[in-house]
Structure 1
Amino acid sequence: MSLIVRVAARGDGVAEDGRHVPFAAPGDTLTDAGELVPGPHHQQPPCRHFPECGGCQLQHLDDEAYAAFVQDRVTSALDAQGLTAPVRPALLSPPNTRRRATLHFDKGLLGFAAEKSHAIVDMRECHILAPELLALVAPLRSLLQRLRPKRRADVHLTLTDQGPEVLVTGFAPGGLAAHEAITAFAQTHGVARFALDDGMGPETRWEPEPVTVTFAGTPVPFPPHGFLQATQEGEAALVAAVREAVGPARAVADLFAGLGTFALTLPAKVYAAEGARDAALALKSAANARQRPVFVEHRDLYRRPLTATELDRFDAVVLDPPRAGAREQAAALAACKVGAIAYVSCNPSSLARDAKTLTDGGWRIDWVQPVGQFRWSTHVELAARFSR
């Protein structure tokens, strides 16, 4: 007999004797014959598609075990770099709150890809999507079956201020019949925008009013398939962590600023750098329209990171890089003299790597806040505060 003591980064349970066991929860028991006996943290998965669907890997964990997994992912990543820090309890988004997702359509099927496969699980229920997005799945399946794309297509869904946005990539049907079908679908189901992209860039087929997302009361023009935190709860947790980390700073640099998730919520003068032109222009337009003290620069921070001299003009720095992290920018941050750094990450490993660079430069990690907004997945978000 061997007790399952933790869940590894890819979702397998790990027994006391080191064996990895799929779909095992802490507290389960693995018999000598290899049979798994459920323990107190092993719940009945709520979705009929689990574990075939790749949208979730951890529906068999109760909330206590899932929160412990999210926290452990952060602790383990720091430990791999020889770092320690106060890691706070994980903040979890509830079920049915995901406001963005990418589904796949092929041969009449629409849904997430199967775990470790390109096969599509034809979605008939989902316990992570927001109800407004889930309600579109069946009618979208019917629409795409009617339009008959000749190859696999991706369907990007995002919940905006005006309702759901739909962007289909991989094909762009022409002709009056297709146009009328898309228009009828959008009108019937309250779609804010319907766009298609066959590889030449998004082409909007339906948008009765400009689509926006709002941060701290400021509506921002939303580019097709723009970036938005996965849940409102996750966004609120990260914004609160950033505001706490920055404190009373009067001048802040927001690096990898996106559409302004953090820049527009800070009570300070903000310099916002963003490498995606559409996002930078949208943030600039929104800030100007509301006369917010946000100066936006379209700048590739991988090719042209801010120097230590440039950074020293600010009281604090916020950065939220892609999964690859901010290796180039971290080197300059390590040498700068700002009062605090708020680092938001969707990858504990790249955060830990950059944290090592910062600590080697004389910084310390004051705290780390894990956030589990990709419910029941192995994907973990976090925010950390660094100070001298």
Structure 2
Amino acid sequence: MSTVTVTINRLGAQGHGIANGENGPVYVPYALPGETLAIARNGDHGTVMSTSNPSPDRVTPPCRHFGPDSDACGGCSLQHLADVPYHAFKRNLVVEALKSKGLTPEVGELVIAHAGERRRVVFSARKTEKELLLGFNRAETNHIVSIVECPIASPGIVARLEAIRAVGKALATGSETFRIAVLETLAGLDLAAEGLKPLDDKQRRTVTETVLALKSIARVSVNGEIVIELQKPLVDFGGVKVSPPPGAFTQATKPAEDAMAELVLSHIGKAKRVIDLFAGSGTFSLRLARIAKVHAVEGDEKSVRALDVAGRNTQGLKPVSVEKRDLYRRPMMVSELKNYDAVVFDPPRAGAEVQMKELARSTVKTVVAVSCNPLTLARDLRILVDAGYQIKAVTPIDQFLWSPHVEAVALLQK
């Protein structure tokens, strides 16, 4: 390790400042373009020691847990960057990812995120002799920084941090680290713990007594198994109430979900038969069913069941059929896709390369892509463009505030 002085030239895709070193780029967290810094350099990584000329784009972080200090959490990486350059950075992630695949469509303005919108947060937890640590890992370490505030999380989650700690303490058996996914629902908090050993009867009683005393927790599950459910957790997908299974995927913020859904519905136009791939518990399927007949395909059986129940018990929807299917192993084939006017797909971060190769050969006129990973989105869109589809619109959406992650919704037509 050596101490050197560097000047930051640009922000990298992870939000780190990048300086040009003698042997290649040096990545410096919490640094901004234009700043000259003294850093402790270790290979291609630098730790800020001092700053001689702070960037005019540098702002005071809103959270006490943010920053390069040893007791700072790694949940956010860009709280120190002013709004205008931050929004430009997020939009540019999508622009550059598409450009890397030779795609240069017009990319719309970023749909911005605000503090306090996150209804889904995943905490790390570990029981010590004195307390239950509950928070986020310090960047690039397994060290848990126990938090007392979180500006990205909803006020309803922040106000119940002690309640979440109490449940976590009841769940913990030893000093192992585990995760608690917290989802704020219409019925209360849904806590899904992963990484714990199965609970014995005594632990179950302790968890049950803890939850009954708190009165703000709707459900607690461990490794997908429900321990106690006082009320069915409910989320609202465009007026359709859905009870997602424990730990199931949901969009992290309601505003981002609504923005994506509005784009999806607008992009399918007058399509009468729509297939929704990687449908989850019905984020888009159940909204689409207001205007079109929908076939929803999803690999997780419990999510399929939740979608189906919600569709069957909601009046005013057009027919919604469901299919449990692993689209990575068994993509929808050309012969199956010919029955639809439009395809909507929202895959995990890995994207949908195998499915895209089938879709590229189809006669489907309209495709709406929703993605949380610009790089795999660009790869997937390249496959479709090479098959004759044209990119008509791309909208970046900031769902993960102050992080290097960005969503996008794209419209393609053939």
Contact 1:15-1:30 within 8 A present in 2 as well: no
The letter of the residue matching 1:214 is D
Structure 2 length as normaliser, TM-score?
A: 0.86
Pair 1:217-2:221 in alignment: no
Shift of 1:166: 0.9
Contact 1:183-1:205 within 8 A present in 2 as well: no
What is the match of residue 116 of structure 1? 140
For structure 1, which segment, 348-357 or 125-134, has the greater mean C-alpha deviation from structure 2 after superposition? 125-134
What is the match of residue 38 of structure 1? 54
Pair 1:24-2:31 in alignment: yes
For structure 1, which segment, 7-16 or 349-358, has the greater mean C-alpha deviation from structure 2 after superposition? 7-16
Percent identity of paired positions between Structure 1 and Structure 2: 38
The letter of the residue matching 1:96 is G
The letter of the residue matching 1:324 is A
2:84 pairs with 64, 68, 72, which one?
Answer: 64
Seen in structure 2, the aligned counterparts of structure 1 residues 361 and 208 have a Cα distance that, compared at 3 Å, is: same
The letter of the residue matching 1:47 is C
Shift of 1:126: 0.9
Contact 2:396-2:407 within 8 A present in 1 as well: yes
2:187 pairs with 125, 150, 162, which one?
Answer: 162
1:92 pairs with 100, 112, 115, which one?
Answer: 112
Deviations 1:111-143 (A, max 9, x none): 111101111011121111111112222233244
What is the match of residue 366 of structure 2? 340
Shift of 1:67: 1.0
SS in 2 for 1:91: coil
Any unmatched runs of 5+ in structure 1?
none
For structure 1, which segment, 212-221 or 234-243, has the greater mean C-alpha deviation from structure 2 after superposition? 212-221
Shift of 1:66: 1.5
Distance in 2, Cα, partners of 1:160 & 1:171: 26
For structure 1, which segment, 345-354 or 289-298, has the greater mean C-alpha deviation from structure 2 after superposition? 289-298
Distance in 2, Cα, partners of 1:32 & 1:299: 53
Taking the TM superposition and a 5 Å limit, the aligned residue runs for 1:1-388 are 6-14=10-18, 20-26=27-33, 28-30=34-36, 35-51=51-67, 52-106=72-126, 107=128, 108-145=132-169, 148-150=172-174, 151-169=176-194, 170-176=196-202, 179-197=205-223, 202-266=224-288, 267-291=291-315, 292=317, 293-388=319-414
SS in 1 for 2:295: strand
Count of residue correspondences: 383
Distance in 2, Cα, partners of 1:225 & 1:174: 21
Contact 2:275-2:296 within 8 A present in 1 as well: yes
Structure 1 length as normaliser, TM-score?
A: 0.92
Distance in 1, Cα, partners of 2:263 & 2:149: 33
The letter of the residue matching 1:44 is T
Seen in structure 2, the aligned counterparts of structure 1 residues 2 and 181 have a Cα distance that, compared at 3 Å, is: closer
- Two-structure CA RMSD over aligned residues (Å): 2.3
For structure 1, which segment, 265-274 or 287-296, has the greater mean C-alpha deviation from structure 2 after superposition? 287-296
The letter of the residue matching 1:265 is R
